[in-house]
C-alpha cells in the first residue's frame, strides 16, 4: 500500500536565470508536493499522463530518482507535457504563463485504463489532489474521479485537497464554486488559503471562508505568515517564524507546506505540529528559485515538533 497518491499534472518549467535567459526544469503543484513528500520519507506515487517524448522520459527518470513511484503514470503516444514560464518580481512574487491546452495530463480520465487506475486509489492511505487537478478534466471526467474518491474514502482512504486556484482554469466562477463545494464534501484534510478562496468569495472574512469548508481537518493559510488550524474540536492560529534569508521565489511555497503537513500527520504528529512543519519547509523553499530546491537545501528534522528538536541541540 502506498502512503500517498498524488494526482495531477507535471509540466516543463522555464524559470528566470541570469542575463535574461531561462533555465529548464519541471514542476506542477501536486508533483512538487510529491517530491517533497518523498524527500521527507513518505512512500509516494504520482498519478498522471505524459507523452512518449524525450522530455517525458526525463520527467519519469527524475521522479524515480526522487523515490516517487511511477507505476501509475500513463504514457500516451504522440502527446507532450504542458509548459509554463515563471516570472518573479523584486519581492519574489511569481507570475505564471502556461501552454497546456493539449497536454497529455488532460486525457487521464478518458483512457481505456482509467477505470482500473481510479480503482487503485482504494489501496492508498491518502489521496492528494488540488483544484488545479480538477480544472484539467471536463464535467464527465470529474464525475468519474469524484466517484472513485468516494469509494476509496468509504474503504478507509483519507482524501486531502489543496485549494490551489488558477483563474485561467476556471473561466466560470459559479462552476468553480460548485466543484469546490462538491470536493470539500469528500475531503478529510483541506489545505486552503485566503489567496485561493477570496477570488471565489470576494470580501469574505476568514471566519466565513472556514465556514464554507466542512472538512473535519482544515488548514487556512493567511495573507500574513500564519495559518488557522481547525481540527479535533479546536481552532488555533499557528504563526511562522521569521525567515533568516530573503525571499527569492514563492513558487511551491504552498506545495511544500502541504507535503510537510501531510508527512507530519503521517508520522502521527497533531495538526498544530504539522502546520509548524509546513511553515518550516515553505520558509526554506521560498529562498530558492523554482519549484524544487536542491536536495542539500532540505532542512533537517522538518517534521519534528519544536520541543523535540530543541532536545537534540
| Catalytic positions | 255
The answer to whether the beta carbons of residues 4 and 33 sit under 8 Å apart is no
C-alpha cell belonging to residue 39: 524527500
SS3 51: strand
**H or E stretch covering 64:** helix 54-65
* CB neighbours of residue 36 within 10 Å: 29
Nearest Cα neighbor of 44 from 55, 52, 36 is: 36
Residue 215: phi, psi to the nearest 5?
-55, 140
- Measured CA to CA, the distance from residue 22 to residue 7 in angstroms comes to 28
Residue 202 is classified by DSSP as T
Amino acid at each position: 500500500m502506498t502512503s500517498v497518491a498524488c494526482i495531477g499534472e507535471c509540466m516543463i518549467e522555464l524559470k528566470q536565470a541570469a542575463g535574461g535567459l531561462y533555465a529548464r526544469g519541471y514542476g506542477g503543484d501536486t508533483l512538487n508536493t510529491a517530491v517533497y513528500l518523498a524527500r521527507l520519507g513518505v512512500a509516494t506515487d504520482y498519478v498522471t499522463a505524459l507523452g512518449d517524448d524525450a522530455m517525458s522520459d526525463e520527467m519519469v527518470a527524475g521522479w524515480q530518482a526522487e523515490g516517487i513511484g511511477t507505476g501509475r503514470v500513463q504514457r500516451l503516444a504522440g502527446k507532450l507535457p504542458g509548459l509554463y514560464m515563471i516570472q518573479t518580481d523584486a519581492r519574489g512574487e511569481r507570475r505564471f504563463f502556461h501552454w497546456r491546452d493539449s497536454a497529455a495530463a488532460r486525457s487521464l480520465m478518458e483512457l481505456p485504463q482509467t477505470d482500473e487506475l481510479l480503482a487503485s486509489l482504494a489501496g492508498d492511505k491518502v489521496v492528494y489532489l488540488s483544484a488545479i487537478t480538477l480544472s484539467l478534466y471536463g464535467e464527465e471526467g470529474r464525475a468519474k474521479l469524484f466517484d472513485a474518491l468516494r469509494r476509496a474514502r468509504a474503504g478507509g482512504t483519507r482524501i486531502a485537497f489543496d485549494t490551489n486556484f488558477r483563474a485561467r482554469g476556471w473561466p466560470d466562477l459559479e462552476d468553480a464554486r460548485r466543484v469546490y463545494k462538491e470536493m470539500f464534501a469528500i475531503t478529510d484534510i483541506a489545505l486552503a488559503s485566503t489567496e485561493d478562496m477570496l477570488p471565489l468569495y470576494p470580501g469574505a472574512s476568514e471566519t466565513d471562508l472556514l465556514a464554507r469548508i466542512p472538512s473535519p481537518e482544515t488548514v487556512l493559510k493567511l495573507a500574513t505568515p500564519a495559518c488557522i488550524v481547525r481540527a479535533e474540536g479546536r481552532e488555533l492560529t499557528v504563526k511562522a517564524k521569521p525567515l533568516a534569508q530573503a525571499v527569492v521565489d514563492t513558487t511551491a511555497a504552498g506545495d511544500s507546506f502541504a507535503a510537510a503537513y501531510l508527512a507530519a500527520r503521517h508520522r502521527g504528529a497533531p495538526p498544530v505540529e504539522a502546520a509548524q512543519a509546513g511553515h518550516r519547509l515553505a520558509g526554506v523553499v521560498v529562498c530558492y528559485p523554482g519549484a524544487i530546491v536542491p536536495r542539500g537545501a532540505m532542512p533537517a528534522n522538518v517534521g519534528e515538533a519544536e520541543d523535540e528538536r530543541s532536545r537534540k541541540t
